[in-house]
Amino acid sequence: MQRTFSTPRGLTVVAAFLLVWALILWYLVKGAASWLANGEGVLVGSFFNSRLIESLLGWQVPEFSVFWVIGLYLFPLLCLMLAADQTAADRTRGTLRLLSLHTTRTSLFLGRFTGAMIVQALLLALVTAATLMLAVVRNEALLVPALDTAAMVFVNLLLLIAAYTAAMAVISLFAGSARQATTWATIIWIALTVLLSWLAHRYPETANLRWLVPGAHITSLLHHNSWQALQLAIVPVVQATVLLVAGWFIINRRDL
């Protein structure tokens, strides 16, 4: 957390994150929510399929329907940068070995993961609160349903981020820097997506292998607009658990 909020690089990333989301909320979420609130889904329909339009129009708070769609894709991408340097830079500088003299490797690994999750949870909470304010300013009567929807969106996005953060924790054990970890993660995700798509097309019985990749349930989440989305929570929870166990095994078996 100190590295994120008290160093020039960390503050630059946070500032860029907030600026990007400020633009998204003001120009995209606010505008699209007005169209949805008026029952005019034609504009959104030019970008999404009809089933997704029906799901978007089913939200009681239009601001969160747009935020939900954008957040499901953008937060995992931001996670590749925000959670990339969990152990990579320290191992390259040799400070990870020094830190291991004062605590266990397990504490280091899980502590860095927890720290990355706290940072992202704070940023996610801030953006969710901003979306809540947009909804309430437009219509004060939406305060109660907006609070419930905000909580639902926050919980589900945080679970999604957890799987990606755990994956970055493992990749960071092999990378030499945050940039390298982000690059490797991007290559791995693209390669796995292409490979699993090809396997599913060639051998339909392998279609379920896609659930091994973080974010595999995003398409299903798109069509949920209530707490029923937690029915899919088992996917990121299992993914994060398996990745953390793998990372714990690796960090306790390799040289720092």
pLDDT digits (tens, 9 = 90+) for 68-85: 988 999 999 888 888 888
117 band by pLDDT with thresholds 50, 70 and 90: very high
- What is residue 140's predicted lDDT score, i.e. its pLDDT? 85
CA distance 245 to 149: 32
Pick 49 or 244 by higher pLDDT.
244
42 band by pLDDT with thresholds 50, 70 and 90: very low
How much is the average pLDDT of 159-173?
Answer: 93
Pick 233 or 44 by higher pLDDT.
233
Per-residue pLDDT tens for 5-14? Answer: 877 877 887 8
pTM reported for the whole predicted model: 0.87
- What is residue 38's predicted lDDT score, i.e. its pLDDT? 66
Per-residue pLDDT tens for 125-149? Answer: 999 999 999 888 888 888 889 999 9
| H-assigned helices in the chain | 2-5, 8-23, 30-37, 42-45, 50-57, 62-82, 88-93, 95-99, 105-138, 143-172, 178-202, 218-221, 234-251
- What is residue 50's predicted lDDT score, i.e. its pLDDT? 58
- What is residue 95's predicted lDDT score, i.e. its pLDDT? 82
242 Cβ neighbours under 8 A, 6+ residues apart:
none
- What is residue 179's predicted lDDT score, i.e. its pLDDT? 86
40 band by pLDDT with thresholds 50, 70 and 90: low
Most confident residue range from 74-78, 80-84, 99-103, 153-157: 153-157
- What is residue 147's predicted lDDT score, i.e. its pLDDT? 92
CA distance 165 to 162: 5
- What is residue 168's predicted lDDT score, i.e. its pLDDT? 92
Of the chain, the percentage scoring pLDDT greater than 90 comes to 27
Of 191, 195, 199, 163, the C-alpha closest to 80 is: 163
| Joined tokens for residue 74 | 């953008």
54 band by pLDDT with thresholds 50, 70 and 90: low
Domain boundaries, the chain: 2-251
150 band by pLDDT with thresholds 50, 70 and 90: very high
Cβ proximity of 47 and 5 under 8 Å: no
- What is residue 37's predicted lDDT score, i.e. its pLDDT? 66
